[in-house]
Amino acid sequence: MENQDSSHHRRRHHHRYTRHDRMFVQILSMSELGGVSDRTLSCYSCDASVNGLKVELESEIPLDSMVDLWVAFVGDKSKLYLRGHVCWCYDMGGEDEHFQLGIELDNAYATDYDHWVSLLEDGAEM
């Protein structure tokens, strides 16, 4: 049986950048509950690629939930607005509840996705 990390690594098609960008995640819909949520959570990114992010936060978000993201990209003065869905969630264990989750980004209308891609591809590192 393969571990979760090797499975994710094989599916990656883009370079991943180590990031530590402050961001807010607003849960728009939670597929597991079939409902809508207006919860907004503060967190930090762990790494990123042009098509996704790994973030760490203190709350679990169900798989396939749609989320809006506001990212304070280190090295850029503006906040980026992105949209995506949760493709995996992992309980980090320990005394405090901490979760890592993967968000696959959508190139949605009226988002800053194109600017996000150009910032990452231009090598804007911390």
Element holding 121 (H helix, E strand): helix 113-121
Residue 33 binned pLDDT confidence (cut-offs 50, 70, 90): low
DSSP state of 126: -
Amino acid at residue number 30 = M
126 is a domain residue: no
In the prediction, which pLDDT does 96 show? 82
Residue 20 included in any domain: yes
Q: What is the pLDDT of residues 46-79, one digit of tens each?
A: 999 999 999 999 989 999 999 999 999 888 888 9
How much is the pLDDT for 31?
Answer: 64
Q: Which two tokens stand for residue 103?
A: 């968000």
pTM of the predicted model over 0.75: yes
Domain with 19, as residue range(s), is 4-121
* CA 104 to each of CA 1, 12, 43, 64, 66: distance values in angstroms, whole numbers, following the listed order: 24, 11, 16, 10, 10
Task: Assess if residue 8 is contained within a domain.
Answer: yes
Torsion of CA 16, 106, 32, 29, to 10 degrees: 130
The answer to whether residue 19 sits within a structural domain is yes
pLDDT value of position 36: 56
Query: Pairing relation of β-strands 79-91 and 99-106?
Result: antiparallel
Overall number of domains in the chain:
1
CATH number for position 98: 2.40.10.220
Kindly state whether residue 97 falls inside one of the protein's structural domains. yes
